[in-house]
Amino acid sequence: MQNSESHNYKKHIKQLIRALSSGVWEKDQLLALGILCGISDSSLFLLGPPGTGKSLIARRLKEIFEDSTAFEYLMSRFSTPDEIFGPVSIRKLREEDCYERSTGGYLPSADVVFLDEIWKAGPAIQNALLTVLNEKIFQNGAVTMKLPLKVLIAASNELPREDEGLEALWDRFMVRCISDCIENENSFYKMLRQTKEETFSIEEPLKISSDLLDMWKREAADIVLPDPILRTITRIRSELKVLSKAENTDPLDYYISDRRWKKAAQILRTSALLNDRDSVDPTDLLLLRHMLWNKTECMKPDTEALIKSLFAEIQTRIDDLSKEIDKTVPENKGRTAANTGQTTFKVYNYFYAKLLPSTASAEKGDMYFVLNDYSQLSLSKPANGIRYRDEKLGGDIIRTLGATAPSGGRHFKTVTLRRGNDSVFINGEEFLLEKSGSGTGISINSIINRQSIPDISRLHLEEFAYGIRTDFDSLRDQLVDNNSNIFIFSSDLRPVKKYVQVLERTLNALEVKIKSMQPDGV
């Protein structure tokens, strides 16, 4: 659903992404996600080898905020809190007997922070970063500082090692991305031919002011999380639980804390807002593939769980349709004379059986009885019915009076009807249901049980399949063919396309199977 006030935030963000990506190759998605993190009060972790533009991303993101400052630092095992949070103020200590840091020019005073080789930081730095990342506060001696921090970007060429107490810090990095070398050869050639460092700047009207940022945060809080989205999130959680219980799997590999889910919802709302919508939709959920994984080997299973959950309802309906088809085919076969030993009757135009006089009759012309009405007739008590001409069949239609009257201005007569032995009594005169010469028609027993016509089953299946196809095409169009979410890129769509292709082949096969269930009538 489009944002009712049409703020055109989407255009603003697209222009920012384009400006940030100028002269940088294959980093537009990382920059876009960095913008999203900056607006949603989230942190970004970049995993990748040296020389893949991780620090460049941080420096450029600084430029999107009006009057912003940045702080960056390369961590080592010997880094001290003084180097990150500022040195202890000697003056404060001497004159006021107060242990307090001089934070100007250090992390506590910065809007955008980049910490390279984050996992090499010592325990004192790590512990201080926990509240920086989560609450945006820093305990400076006895003073609790509210930080101006908009986004903290951390980078490393490795993930945190197990059993080193880094789980809490790792959990606070909401968006996790891979920063790789340039893959496309044409982009690589352009990079090689670039002989001058391209000057980079963002026009002032594009920069995000503090007032605009605060307004976006307020409006993001009002974005709706619809019930279908919440149900999909529930399915994702269920899929992750299944993965965590697999053999030789550490349950923590697929663990997502409530704090992360809460923060993820905030990011999804912000994505919807910046795409000019007033509610979260399935395209926003694709962003979860950058938030769910804890180890690189979990990225593929996490993504598969996400996509499977997005299409879970469609998949369930396809499975139900397949069961219905498997159930219908043997039922229809079971109705043949060869399998049941019952007399079967020829079906005309899907719904009718021809009536033949049992003895010499004054009736001229063909008559057809609506088979689905047969179960409504009594063997002893006559019922009211109607008779009218149908040019398409080339004869008269006989059916119960409770049915809808014929349309098109056709005239009809009222008659009395009673069920006989493989026959119908019309005004007291018996007419036999025409038997199927091939033994492949429909039995009276089936008609009475209101499972009357194989073609009715086929039409039901066609309607079932049509509903699935409509919803499948709509979701595929939204997620793949016409995905307009500014934070979703081709790398996000590739696994979705693969899943959709498999699902569509299954649906196509079922549709062909239904069409092959040809009627036995004329």
CATH code assigned at 236: 3.40.50.300
Same domain? 136 vs 178: no
**What pTM, to 2 d.p., does this model score?**
0.75
Buried b (16+ CB within 10 A) or exposed e, 315-341: bebbeebeebbeebbeebeebbbeeee
Is residue 289 within 8 Å of residue 306, measured between CB atoms? yes
CA distance 500 to 505: 9
Is residue 34 within 8 Å of residue 290, measured between CB atoms? no
pLDDT of residue 6: 52
pLDDT of residue 343: 62
Same domain? 305 vs 427: no
Same domain? 217 vs 183: yes
| DSSP codes of every residue in 234-257 | HHHHHHHHHHHTSTT--GGGG---
Same domain? 143 vs 245: no
Same domain? 131 vs 188: no
Same domain? 273 vs 183: yes
pLDDT bucket at 451, cuts 50 / 70 / 90: very low
- For residue range 7-49, list pLDDT tens digits in order: 689 999 999 999 998 888 889 999 999 999 999 999 999 999 8
What range does the domain containing 387 cover? 348-435
Among 81-95, 266-280, 305-319, 392-406, whose mean pLDDT is lowest? 392-406
CA distance 62 to 284: 25
Can you say whether the dihedral through the CA atoms of 200, 206, 210, 214 is positive or negative?
negative
Q: Residue 483 domain-assigned?
A: no
Structure-block tokens of residue 283: 């395209």
Same domain? 142 vs 270: no
Amino acid at 258: D
pLDDT of residue 51: 85
- For residue range 184-209, list pLDDT tens digits in order: 899 888 888 887 776 778 899 999 99
Question: Residue 221 pLDDT more than 80?
Answer: yes
Q: What is the mean pLDDT of the chain?
A: 86
Amino acid at 62: K
Q: How many domains does the chain have?
A: 3
> Which residue would you say has higher pLDDT here, 12 or 460?
12
pLDDT of residue 442: 58
Question: Residue 270 pLDDT more than 80?
Answer: yes
Question: Residue 504 pLDDT more than 80?
Answer: yes
pLDDT (average), residues 110-137:
93
Task: Tell me the CA end-to-end span of the chain in Å, nearest whole number.
Answer: 49
Distant-in-sequence, close-in-space partners of 65: CB < 8 Å, separation ≥ 6: 38, 111, 112, 150, 207, 208, 213
pLDDT (average), residues 263-283:
97
Distant-in-sequence, close-in-space partners of 203: CB < 8 Å, separation ≥ 6: 19
Q: Residue 62 domain-assigned?
A: yes
- For residue range 412-447, list pLDDT tens digits in order: 889 999 988 888 999 989 999 888 765 555 555 555
Same domain? 234 vs 292: yes
Same domain? 142 vs 156: no
DSSP tag of 65? B
pLDDT (average), residues 213-241:
97
Q: Residue 502 domain-assigned?
A: no
Task: For residue 479, give the nearest of 350, 345, 325, 288 by alpha carbon.
Answer: 288
Same domain? 142 vs 154: no
- For residue range 316-327, list pLDDT tens digits in order: 999 999 998 888
pLDDT of residue 402: 65
pLDDT of residue 522: 38
Q: Residue 156 domain-assigned?
A: yes
pLDDT (average), residues 118-140:
92
Q: Residue 242 domain-assigned?
A: yes
pLDDT of residue 218: 97
Q: Residue 297 domain-assigned?
A: yes
Question: Residue 455 pLDDT more than 80?
Answer: no
Same domain? 126 vs 195: no
Task: For residue 449, give the nearest of 323, 329, 331 by alpha carbon.
Answer: 331
Same domain? 164 vs 40: yes
